[in-house]
Amino acid sequence: MSGRGIGRGRGSLLPPNGAGSGSLGGGRGRGGGRGVLFSSDHFVLEDDDEAEQETAVTGFQREREDATPSQSDSDEDDFISQFRKLHAPRTTVSEASRSTTSTGTVRWSGRGRKPAGAAGGGVLDLVDNCYPVIAETPSPTKVYSSVSSSSGEELSGASSGGNAVIVKSGELGKNVSMCVNYIRLEHLEKDRGGVWEYHVDFDPPLGSKKLRWSVLHSLVDIMGPTLNFDGGSKLFLPFELRDGVTNLSTPHPADHDDTVDVVIKHIKKQELEESVHFYNILLRQVFRELGLIEMQRNFYDYKNIFQVPEHKLEIWPGFVTAVEVYQDGLMLNCDSSFRVLRTDTMLNALDQMMYTEQNEGVHRYNARERFKEYALGKVVLTKYNNKHYRVDDVDWESTPESTFTQMRNGNPVQVSFIEYYRTNYNVIIRDSDQPMLVTRGKIKRQQHASNWQSPPENILLVPELCFVTGMTEEITSDFRIMKVVADKTRIPPLQRYHALQAFIESVNTQPKVRSIFEKWGLRLADGIVNLNGRVIGPPKMILGGNAVVLPQGGEFNRDLLRSQVLEPVPIQDWLVVCSSMDEPRAIRAIQNYGQVARPLGIPYKGDPRIIRVQKNRPSDFREALVNNIVEGVTQFVMVILPSNRDDLYRVVKTVCNHELAVASQVIRGQTLNDERKVRSVMQKVALQINCKLGGALWTIRIPMIEKIMFLGMDVYHDPKRHNRSVTAVVASINVTYTKYYSRCIFQQQQQESISSLRPVFLDALLTFQEHDGNGAFPDRVIMFRDGVGDGQLELTRQYEVAQMLSCFQELGIDPKFTFTVVQKRINARMFLDTGSHIENVEPGTVLDHTVTRRNYFDFFLVSQLIREGTVNPTHYIVLHDNSDIKPDVIQKFAYATSFMYYNWAGSIRVPAMCQYAHKAAGLVGQHIGREPSAKMNDKLYYL
């Protein structure tokens, strides 16, 4: 490939393997980007989050395929009935009374605050035989004596003390038989022995895992054949070596004239259940023996790849696994996983951009700029070593002919990348003039959130050898491609079940694979775990005109369209901005807006002014907005864009949300082409605009007299690591949960824990007080915190929970406070076992025992309805609670609030406040780039 004008030079960076003396590896992170709520024939620039529901939806107009008659208000499984069932007769005694059942169950049966050490939730006292109020008495609690696998400080109201394992289980709902994708790891002998952990050092240091493995296997006479090594520095043995520090020497595997000194230092003895790392290493050996290869900690079968040649895609089937000690013992969590790879390389993309520039011309930027923008943030696979790397930069000064320093026989030698790949991988690089891709690895956080390590040394990658993973926006917007991908990856429950059974059979029937477990005294159970779950009822929905609806199957779309909105906002003064070409579409949209608004109960008092933009430049749209919006008068502006261009969308959202504080709605012109669908599109627009102007579509009935504030919080990270991360906090600020306070703040890149939450939370509490008729603060505060991984739980409690508690102290209030972490990216699956078939569980299904955490008050909840694939439960972890909230109550709260997301007439996967926070953080982080105007804080401007 000629004509790139790339300079050659001597590189100081390293290849992606470990041939040099530096620390090597690739970083891994979460990708970003917008999804689409409505199908591709509707507008796509708004409402980009419902991909979480794993179903292709058409918005509010989608009809239920299996509609059933509505349940009556006296349904035994409705929200009020289930809360009343909590008020079972109990004998209340003095606060000093305490009783222990013969089975070891500890119960506290008193009113008021429980004494230290008593666990439990609340019992409902009925007020006027209608609405119950929480009184502090405990939930059923089982205490087991067992060895804990988790370390760290105990969490208030959330984790057990010492070695005790607390199971906090609810009682409401109907029981259902289920199975889950967990497999028990059984011990072959009652006397389990243990495992001894050692730290291994090599001198000279060995940069390759393969070399380190080779050295340890050469010492089998000393350590025996049963060893478990992670390829780095951790070694596990089934016995204790004679000395605390063992010094050994062996010939160098790559240079027999040299030797390697090995120092093996004893760290500790553990029970088999205590070392999760031990099992992860063991699983790597199992999957290698089964012929699977590892990609980003998951394992894939390269022998059974699904080829999609017409779209240049490959779909790799495989498994994602994790071993943990759960409440009912040691288990392997295993689920089917798929990796979508592209068969074209990064070099193919660069060549195409060069060709376009030379033959067609590029009016916005040259090929170098376009390629860099395309490459940054991409995760690529290098098939010569089956590793993944994130692209952080493009080095135009280096080429495959550039050299780096490699140690040979103890001497530094300059080696070109061409020579390195030919010698080590037998790979011939054909284009010596291509630039190099740069990956920097992931920044790691130290003990304090403000203390960050420097990134590791850069790694250079050859574009010709880098295959792009994932799918571009162009691919995801192509219905035909996505249908092919979905057919292979969105598999039904029965197929997942059979894949798990096949995996178990492969492990237990192949002698070499089975022996990997057996030599450590372990075996896989013959099937996945079977257990009972519960299905709790949905809340009652209150629509306009006091219409009361009980959702069927998690949806109430038909009822919404037959009713009026709960709190309409009259449409009086608004604008439509469009190009001259789109003016006919704009007129058609305006006509339909007026026709659909009135049946929804939204007063429509006049058509808008149409502002024509002569050219499709960002500056032209900006000028049209600034010159025609009258702050305080113009209610909202509808912008019709000629194409799906991010630069136009960005300028509209920045002007409206940051500069002028006016609601905005963006529609792609193509969406309005089909006259038969324009009415449906404008119906959705009318509903969204009503919300953005401060109105409400519906609410839920929570049968409690307490004033409750629900909060949601999430963090957006720039996938290209250029911009600061954005934290969004969304709080309900009235007792009907229809008004919201929203605030976005910026923080350090890739920082998940929020260290500047205090002023935001204070402002939310004060805003609640302003909206309360009596000027009161909330009696109960429920925080749903999204985006926190297992490794960040303690940090979240330390920084975020503490800040929120300090706000209560400053305001002189003491509300009941529950801080719950919401985890969506989990591998747990729940299947309904009908006895003759395996299928998806229904919305409202709860699982709070057996496979939940040992040291946390947690549960799984399926709140959404899907029609394709296998449903994903959401994991809730109560990180802090000062109210002894009953499991049934927090589970009801989580399910009920999932119905309050105004972009979907039904339940979604997480509480609505979490989804609002996700939307707000994404909009500000991706497009606005600065904090929205304070005047927008009480509006759902991000819908």
Annotated catalytic residues are: 714, 752, 786, 918
- Beta carbons within 10 angstroms of residue 553's beta carbon: 18
The C-alpha atoms of residue 101 and residue 138 are separated, in whole angstroms, by 14
DSSP letters for 694-718: T-BS-EEE----S-EEEEEEEEE--
Nearest CA to 285 out of 323, 230, 233 is that of: 230
In this structure, the strands spanning 293-295 and 259-270 are unpaired
- Beta carbons within 10 angstroms of residue 209's beta carbon: 14
Strand order in the sheet with 436-439: 393-395, 436-439, 459-461
The C-alpha atoms of residue 534 and residue 178 are separated, in whole angstroms, by 9
> 257: burial class by Cβ within 10 Å (0-12, 13-18, 19+)?
exposed
Q: Is 569 helix (H, G, I), strand (E, B) or coil?
A: coil
Token pair listed for 735:
């007792």
C-alpha to C-alpha distances, 570 to 594, 602, 606, 689, nearest whole angstrom? 12, 6, 10, 11
> 583: burial class by Cβ within 10 Å (0-12, 13-18, 19+)?
middle
* Planar angle of CA 57, 63, 66, nearest 5 degrees: 110
Q: Does a cis peptide bond (omega within 30 degrees of 0) precede residue 455?
A: no
Going by the DSSP 8-state scheme, the letter that residue 659 receives in this structure is: I
Token pair listed for 75:
């349904």
Place of tokens 């010159």: 627
The C-alpha atoms of residue 898 and residue 626 are separated, in whole angstroms, by 37
Going by the DSSP 8-state scheme, the letter that residue 599 receives in this structure is: G
Q: Is 456 helix (H, G, I), strand (E, B) or coil?
A: coil
Q: Give every CB contact of residue 807 below 8 A, 6+ residues apart in sequence.
A: 758, 761, 762, 765
Phi-psi region of 193 (alpha: psi -120 to 50; beta: other; left: phi over 0): left
